[in-house]
Amino acid sequence: MKKKVLAAIMAAAMVALTACGGAAATAPAEPAAPAAEPAATEEAAPAEEEAPAEEEAAPAASGELIKVGIINNDPNESGYRTANDKDLKAAFSEENGFDASFAYSLKNDEQITAAQKFIQDGVDYLLLSAADTAGWDSVLKDAQDAGIHVILFDRTIDADPSLYSASIVSDMDKEGETAVAWLEGQNLDEYNVIHIQGVMGSAAQKGRSGALDSKVASDGDKWKIVTQQTAEWNAEKAQQIVQSVIDSGEKFNVIYAENDDMAKGAVAALDAANISHGVGKDVIVMGFDCNKWALQELLDQNWNYDGQCNPFQSEYILKVIDELQAGNEPAEKTIVMNEKGFDATTITADDVENYGI
């Protein structure tokens, strides 16, 4: 691979360092907005500053620039997704040797339609963050038959691994297990949990829900799910779910929200009802994604736990493309992002700065 794409790798690394102080990081959340319209496509905006390039990018089969189709979830889904989209657009710019088009949807069928269009357009690489884990075998086989390399990012799918070249993902199961292990370590007399789920069927929802479901099933005498509903990553929906439980009078002492936005919405309902939350208070509040504002809530001890999910995957994707362009198989088929969880009693101001997005 020529140095222009290598320069893109360096540029991607600098984006991540700028946003997370040199550490693996996660994204700030904005209210989720499920995409109701068919997946929209757009051309990638050029990076503001041209990456240094001593040589030109290795030409793709279709021409000078490497043609890439990128299928992602709606950038307005959450702050995590906003940061993820920004990272990809900065990396896959024309200045860095790419002709990139983007398609966005929270619906699997719309994403599959977008993938079929990219295949028809003759892209060299298809990058995919799937809305749902199921249903991808047929379209990925079409991509393979067309000689298109498929690279998964952010989320896993239930498909034959031979249908994609590499997978750069978060370990969503581990994220859930780490969070539930932390919660168990709080040694409460009883756990009455309001469980607010993300978009059903997504890898993030399945991983973060699975660990809690398993714990409740194995220790039902002490652990109870007061309610378990999806808020589809949305703060307002989460607030309504918690308000309904408050209105019912049923007791609870844990909010387990599968992203920071939903935790924020849950807290709004608690505040409206004058229910205390955070360290040493009536309700434990847990979120995921490590938005900077959410980590600040931990530092202020208004929340108790936040699980990290790293949105900066472009650097890893570029390295995979570099290997494939050179005619080599990627050194690793599955690359798992390095992530951890934060506790309000031990988090520092440096953690907020270095890990928050």
Alpha-carbon dihedral sign for residues 226, 229, 235, 241:
negative
Nearest C-alpha neighbor of 76 from the set 205, 203, 232: 232
pTM confidence score: 0.74
CB 58, CB 325: distance < 8 Å? yes
| pLDDT tens, residue by residue, 171-195 | 999 999 999 999 999 999 999 999 9
Distance between CA atoms of 7 and 49, rounded to whole angstroms? 12
pLDDT digits (tens, 9 = 90+) for 98-155: 999 999 999 999 999 999 999 999 999 999 999 999 999 999 999 999 999 999 999 8
Q: Domains in the chain, start-ordered, CATH in brackets?
A: 3-170+310-326 (3.40.50.2300), 173-308+345-354 (3.40.50.2300)
First vs last Cα of the chain: how many Å apart?
A: 31
Please choose, from the candidates 194, 32, 11, 22, the residue with its C-alpha nearest in 3D space to the C-alpha of residue 88.
11
Going by pLDDT thresholds of 50, 70 and 90, the confidence category of residue 206 is: very high
Phi/psi of residue 96, each to 5°? -95, 10
Q: How far apart are CA 154 and CA 82, in angstroms?
A: 13
Question: What is the distance between the alpha carbons of residues 231 and 237, in angstroms, rounded to a whole number?
Answer: 5
Q: Is the pLDDT of residue 28 over 60?
A: no
Per-residue model confidence as pLDDT tens digits over 256-276: 999 999 999 999 999 999 999
pLDDT surpasses 60 at 228: yes
Q: Mean pLDDT across the stretch 16-42?
A: 37
Distance CA 100, CA 115 (A): 13
Query: Which pLDDT does position 338 carry in this prediction?
Result: 84
Question: Which range, of 39-53, 69-83, 178-192, averages the lowest pLDDT?
Answer: 39-53
- pLDDT level of residue 66 (50, 70, 90 thresholds): very high
- Give me the torsion for CA of 146, 149, 151, 156, rounded to 10°: 50
**pLDDT class of 52 with cuts at 50, 70, 90:** very low
Q: Which residue has the higher pLDDT, 52 or 249?
A: 249
pLDDT exceeds 70 at position 4: no
How does residue 63 score in pLDDT terms, banded at 50, 70 and 90? low
Residue 12 confidence (pLDDT) above 70:
no
* Residue 77 pLDDT level (bands cut at 50, 70, 90): confident
Q: What is the DSSP letter of 277?
A: B
Q: Could you tell me the sign of the dihedral formed by the alpha carbons of 175, 179, 180, 182, in that order? A: positive
Q: How many other β-carbons are positioned within 10 Å of the β-carbon of residue 299?
A: 17
Residues 120 and 102: their CA atoms lie apart, in Å, by: 15
Q: Are 108 and 42 in contact (CB under 8 A)?
A: no
Give residue 64's pLDDT band: very low, low, confident or very high (50, 70, 90).
confident
Residue 25 CB-half CA count within 13 A? 32
Is the C-alpha dihedral spanning 209, 215, 217, 220 positive or negative?
A: negative
**Distance set, CA 206 to CA 177, 312, 339, 354 (Å):** 12, 21, 17, 28
3-state SS class at 101 = strand
Eight-state DSSP code of residue 337: P
What does DSSP say about strands 305-308 and 284-289: parallel, antiparallel, or unpaired? parallel
Q: How long is the chain?
A: 357
Q: What is the pLDDT of residues 315-356, one digit of tens each?
A: 999 999 999 999 999 999 999 988 999 999 999 999 999 899
